[in-house]
């Protein structure tokens, strides 16, 4: 190792720099700090290549900083605890963590099946349906085994899971899903009235985007404000704070499913502790404050390692204290993401250019560009990226249709924001398109649910906090816990002005829409030509959005591109709804303790002891263990009995009770 | 899904066992059309989208038999009655009506 953690910033972030954790990735030893995720620790160590893509085996890096990650999937741990397709962006670092990249052979840097990339013209949408049709007899013998070998990403362990999983039930007046600024504002307002409140967040740390954006609330940094809010909530007897808990599904009667990752941040669960706990939470009222997910922009080579979501870049700088590059280009169609340039500049990263697709960028963007001394290219788009295992330069088409090459090792892109409204659609709610916000908003909400913050399209921090406070106060009041007045919070509303940009036309390289399932713009165009224009057909024909990330970075872009191709509006084209679970949940967690003998107990007939004395060989008949036959004089199998012409022992009388 | 048991209050679904359509009445085996009536009773169901009256047994609670009126599209429960009360009311109606 040359220098430990070359991309670690000197200060900042919620990490404990006083302690170092050692971890392994593909056999190499690296160090990180408590508070890191595997992704942030890899970035700190200058690792940008984390896996190979599903179909074309293209090099892929880290795209996001959250559970929407499509690319940075690893095999975590070894032996019986090995877990495939784990998102590096949500895997908390622990000492001795062992992870390996997936879908590559013999090594990540040199991968034989990357030849698929050259064969790309034949691996189009519907390739399997079109190619392996005839002769039918070959399917079973040849095609299926060959496809199965090449398919899939990670490998699961063959051994039984040594850990335990629990189930638990909780009741509350107000369930708050998401512990960002809106969720915390709601919790304080609901909690102070004395209502029973549960505040759940999928991360270990609360504060959400306020911390990622290094925002200021009530005139103090968001980190300090969050800590103060949590200690205030901790002092309220009826408030239960649940970190590492993802509410993944909405069910009838105000019932919610949640998964608490009790021990996933440890190598081995503590004695007596389960790995995960499945919660059934029954809530009178619920506030969905799940935030928003950034959309990528679809341009040529937008999957190259070093191309990241702008919000993720700010997260790595502000939450984890790492710089994801040295020279950055910021590519946006909205004001909010332009502040990434400021964050990069403050972290000492050179901002080469801000590429704003809008013909006339706002004053906000102009100010940021001049403050960061970045070149502002308005009305411009990135058409292609270059570099083998990491982006080295981008090709920009300016407003005057000139091509300019900019050297960079980081592209921070943002095509806008999708509110995380998946939970509102679990009981048949239908999202509603908003032209003003250029996104889908929640339509009809499940009974008892209110929505606040960025999830409700309130992207500015001030309005986000205000909507959270109101929702918390209203939910407590409706539960019969009135209090004097809602507590408000002081912050600034950032501009979130946006003009839609779904894809960049005229790209030479592949432009990816769904990075986990390797679906490109070309695949959507093909689906359109072949008549698979309805969203449900598009999805099934191209496998778009069907990966473990549920297409959270892909679905809306794909819908918008199909709308462009068919000259329809987005609401005319369709919408995206989600099914539970919001993030993958281990089957073991649903099973809980009900596995092995605890799922299927063995029942012994009254004659069991006697039959055993007689040397019976037993057979399972349902749950019952019954004597099958009584071997005599060296006989050792049923077959021998049959050849000897002797009838098997008759079943005992109690067989009637089975 | 949650059911409000008249004896126990609101309880989770796993305390209850579903026992089918509550609107059925057992035909009279002595009637002349008994065969056809029993075929209808045993096999023919309407499967309507909307309100449905159904029997639930509170097996992990008070052991009461309940008649639940539930919308099978939204799973919204309109009413929960004790099956005993429903049967008595029906008998009473049959007697006074007769």
Answer whether B1 touches A (CB < 8 Å): yes
Contacts of A252 in chain B (CB under 8 A): 1-2, 75
Mean pLDDT of A461-471: 97
Q: What is the spatial distance between Cα A266 and Cα A250, in angstroms, rounded to a whole number?
A: 29
Query: Which of A427, A449, A428, A430 has its CA nearest to residue A441?
Result: A430
Position B39 scores a pLDDT of 95
Chain A from 420 to 449: CB within 8 A of any B CB: 427-428, 447
Distance CA A576, CA A431 (A): 8
Q: How high is the mean pLDDT of chain B?
A: 93
Name the pLDDT band for A135 (thresholds 50, 70, 90).
Answer: low
Averaged confidence pLDDT in chain A: 91
Confidence band of A411 (pLDDT split at 50, 70, 90): very high
- Three-state secondary-structure class, residue A600: coil
Place of tokens 């005599």: A632
B2 and A252 within 8 Å at the Cβ level: the answer is: yes
Contact call for A280 and B75, based on CB within 8 A: no
Mind telling me how many Å the CA of B2 is from chain A's nearest CA? 5
Of the candidates A253, A427, A428, the beta carbon closest to that of B2 is on A253
Residue in B with minimal Cα distance to A251: B1
Residue with tokens 């939470």: A281
SS3 content of chain A, % helix, strand, coil (to 5): 25, 25, 50
Chain B residue closest in CA terms to A169? B12
**Interatomic CA distance for residues A289 and A286, integer angstroms:** 9
Instruction: Say if A132 is an interface residue toward chain B (CB within 8 Å).
Output: no
Task: Give whichever of A58-62, A542-546, A574-578 has the largest mean pLDDT.
Answer: A58-62
Question: Using a CB-CB distance cutoff of 8 angstroms, which residues of chain A are in contact with residue B70?
Answer: none
- pLDDT at position A487, please? 92
Measured between beta carbons, the chain B residues lying within 8 angstroms of A282 are 2, 12
**A233-246 average pLDDT score:** 97
Q: For residue A425, what pLDDT band results from cuts at 50, 70 and 90?
A: very high
Q: Is A131 helix (H, G, I), strand (E, B) or coil?
A: helix
Contact A412, A421 (CB under 8 A): no
Q: How far is B75 from chain A (nearest CA, A)?
A: 7
B12–chain A Cβ distance below 8 A for any pair: yes
* Count of alpha carbons within 13 angstroms of residue A520, beta-carbon side: 25
* Element containing residue A610 per DSSP (H, E): helix A608-613
Q: Residue A642's pLDDT is what?
A: 53
| Distance of alpha carbon A108 from alpha carbon A122, whole angstroms | 24
Please tell me the predicted confidence (pLDDT) of residue A155. Answer: 82
> A91-105, A116-130, A567-581: lowest mean pLDDT where?
A116-130
pLDDT of A67: 94
Neighbours of A237 (CB within 10 A): 9
Contact B1 A169 (CB under 8 A): no
Residue A363: exposure state from Cβ atoms within 10 A (0-12, 13-18, ≥19): exposed
pLDDT number for residue A639 = 55
Residue closest to A198 by CA, chosen among A224, A177, A216, A169: A177
Sign of torsion over alpha carbons A451, A454, A456, A460: positive
CA distance A97 to A23: 5
Give yes or no for residue A230 having a pLDDT over 80: yes
Of B2, B74, B76, the CB nearest to A255: B2
pLDDT value for A1: 43
**A616, two tokens:** 């019976």
Share of chain A above pLDDT 70, in %: 91
Mean pLDDT, range B45-54, rounded to an integer? 91
Residues A619-636, mean pLDDT to the nearest whole number: 86
Contacts of B12 in chain A (CB under 8 A): 169, 255, 280, 282
Specify the 3-state DSSP secondary structure of A382.
strand
> What confidence tens digit (pLDDT) does each residue in A357-399 have?
999 989 999 999 999 999 999 999 999 999 989 999 999 999 9
From residue A640, give the alpha-carbon distance in Å to each of A612, A631, A636. Answer: 20, 9, 7
Distance from CA of A447 to the nearest CA of B (A): 10
A547 pLDDT band, cuts 50/70/90, is confident
The answer, yes or no, to whether residue A640 has pLDDT greater than 60, is no
Predicted pLDDT of residue A484:
76
Does B71 contact chain A (CB < 8 Å)?
no
pLDDT band at A129 (very low <50, low <70, confident <90, very high): low
d(CA A201, CA A453): 14
Residues of B in contact with A172 (CB under 8 A): none
Q: How many helices (H) and strands (E) does chain B have?
A: 2, 6
- The predicted-structure confidence for B52-82, as pLDDT tens digits, reads as follows 999 999 999 999 999 999 999 989 999 999 9
Chain B residue at shortest CA distance from A428: B74
Choose from A168, A170, A172, A253 for mutation: most chain B CBs within 10 A: A253
CA of A428 vs chain B CAs: smallest distance (Å): 9
Cross-strand pairs, A125: none
Which residues in B lie closer than 8 A to residue A445 (C-beta atoms)?
none
- B2 and chain A in contact, CB less than 8 A: yes
| A280 vs B: CB within 8 A | yes
Cα distance from B41 to chain A (closest Cα, Å)?
29
Chosen for mutation from B4, B5, B13, B71 (greatest number of chain A CBs closer than 10 Å) is B13
Structure confidence at residue A341 (pLDDT)? 97
Other Cβ atoms closer than 10 A to A313: 30
Please tell me what DSSP assigns to residue A598: G
Task: Return the pLDDT at A109.
Answer: 79
Note whether A253 and B1 are within 8 A (CB): yes
Interface contact flag, A255 B75, Cβ < 8 Å:
no
**Given this model, what pLDDT does residue B47 score?**
87
Minimum Cα–Cα distance from A283: chain B residue: B2
CB contact under 8 A, B1 and A251: yes
- The residue to which tokens 């009279």 are assigned: B28
Task: Report pTM.
Answer: 0.90
Please tell me the distance in Å from B39's CA to the nearest CA on chain A: 30
pLDDT score recorded for residue A654: 45
Residues 6+ away with beta carbon under 8 Å from A202: A67, A90, A244, A245, A246, A583
């Amino acid at each position: 190792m040359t220098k430990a953690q070359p991309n670690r910033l000197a200060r900042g972030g919620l990490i404990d720099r006083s302690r170092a954790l050692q971890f392994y990735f593909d056999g190499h030893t690296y160090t990180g700090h408590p508070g890191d995720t595997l992704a942030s620790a890899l970035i700190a160590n200058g690792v940008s290549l984390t896996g190979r893509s599903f179909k074309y085996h293209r090099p892929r890096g880290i795209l996001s900083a959250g559970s929407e990650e499509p690319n940075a999937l690893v095999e975590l741990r070894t032996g019986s605890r090995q877990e495939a397709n784990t998102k590096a962006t949500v895997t908390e670092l622990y000492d001795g963590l062992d992870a390996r990249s997936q879908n590559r052979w013999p090594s990540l840097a040199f991968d034989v099946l990357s030849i698929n990339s050259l064969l790309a013209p034949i691996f189009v949408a519907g390739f399997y349906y079109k190619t392996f049709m005839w002769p039918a007899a070959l399917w079973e013998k040849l095609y299926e085994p060959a496809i199965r070998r090449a398919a899939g990403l990670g490998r699961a362990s063959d051994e039984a899971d040594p850990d335990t999983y629990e189930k638990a039930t909780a009741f509350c007046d107000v369930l708050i899903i998401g512990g960002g600024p809106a969720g915390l504002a709601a919790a304080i307002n609901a909690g102070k009235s004395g209502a029973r409140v549960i505040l759940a967040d999928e991360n270990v740390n609360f504060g959400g985007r306020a911390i990622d954006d290094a925002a200021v609330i009530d005139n103090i940094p968001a980190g300090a404000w969050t800590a103060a809010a949590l200690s205030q909530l901790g002092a309220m007897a009826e408030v239960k704070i649940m970190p590492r808990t993802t509410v993944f599904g909405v069910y009838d009667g105000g019932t919610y499913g949640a998964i608490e990752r009790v021990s996933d941040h440890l190598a081995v669960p503590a004695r007596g502790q389960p790995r995960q706990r499945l919660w059934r939470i029954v809530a009178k009222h619920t506030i969905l404050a799940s935030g928003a997910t950034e959309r990528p922009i679809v341009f040529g080579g937008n999957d190259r390692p070093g191309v990241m979501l702008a919000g993720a870049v700010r997260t790595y700088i502000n939450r984890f204290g790492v710089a994801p590059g040295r020279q950055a280009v910021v590519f946006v169609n909205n004001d909010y993401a332009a502040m990434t340039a400021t964050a990069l500049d403050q972290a000492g990263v050179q901002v080469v250019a801000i590429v704003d697709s809008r013909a006339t960028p706002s004053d906000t963007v102009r100010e940021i560009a001049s403050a960061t001394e970045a070149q502002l290219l308005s009305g411009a788009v990135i058409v292609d990226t270059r570099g083998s295992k990491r982006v080295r330069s981008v090709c920009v088409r300016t407003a005057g249709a000139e091509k300019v090459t900019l050297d960079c090792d980081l592209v921070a892109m943002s095509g806008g924001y999708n509110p995380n409204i998946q939970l509102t659609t679990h009981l048949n709610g239908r999202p509603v398109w908003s032209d003003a916000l250029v996104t889908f908003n929640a339509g009809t909400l499940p009974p008892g649910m209110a929505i606040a913050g960025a999830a409700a399209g309130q992207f500015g921090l001030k309005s986000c906090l205000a909507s959270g406070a109101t929702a918390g106060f209203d939910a407590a009041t409706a539960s019969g816990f009135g209090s004097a007045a809602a507590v408000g919070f002081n912050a600034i509303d950032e501009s979130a002005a946006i003009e839609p940009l779904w894809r960049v036309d005229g790209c030479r390289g592949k432009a990816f829409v769904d990075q986990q399932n390797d679906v490109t713009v070309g695949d959507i165009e093909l689906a359109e030509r072949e008549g698979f224009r309805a969203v449900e057909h598009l999805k099934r024909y191209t496998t778009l959005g069907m990966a473990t990330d549920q297409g959270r970075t892909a679905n809306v872009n794909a819908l918008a591109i199909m709308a462009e191709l068919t000259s329809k509006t987005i609401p005319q084209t369709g919408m995206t709804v989600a099914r539970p679970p919001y993030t993958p949940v281990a089957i073991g967690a649903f099973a809980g303790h009900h596995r092995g003998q605890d799922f299927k107990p063995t029942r012994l007939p009254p004659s069991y002891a006697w039959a055993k004395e007689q040397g019976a060989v037993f057979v399972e008949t349902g749950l019952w263990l019954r004597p099958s036959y009584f071997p005599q004089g060296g006989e050792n199998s049923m077959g021998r009995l049959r050849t000897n012409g002797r009838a098997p022992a008759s079943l005992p009388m109690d067989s009637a009770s089975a | 899904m949650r059911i409000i048991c008249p004896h126990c209050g609101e309880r989770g679904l796993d305390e209850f066992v579903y026992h089918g359509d509550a609107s059925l009445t057992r035909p009279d085996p002595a009637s002349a059309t008994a065969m056809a009536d029993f075929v209808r009773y045993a096999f023919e169901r309407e499967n309507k989208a909307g309100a449905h009256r159904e029997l639930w047994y509170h097996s992990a609670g008070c052991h009461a038999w309940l008649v639940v009126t539930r919308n099978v599209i939204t799973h919204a429960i309109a009413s929960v009655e004790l099956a005993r009360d429903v049967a008595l009311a029906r008998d009473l109606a049959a007697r006074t009506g007769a």
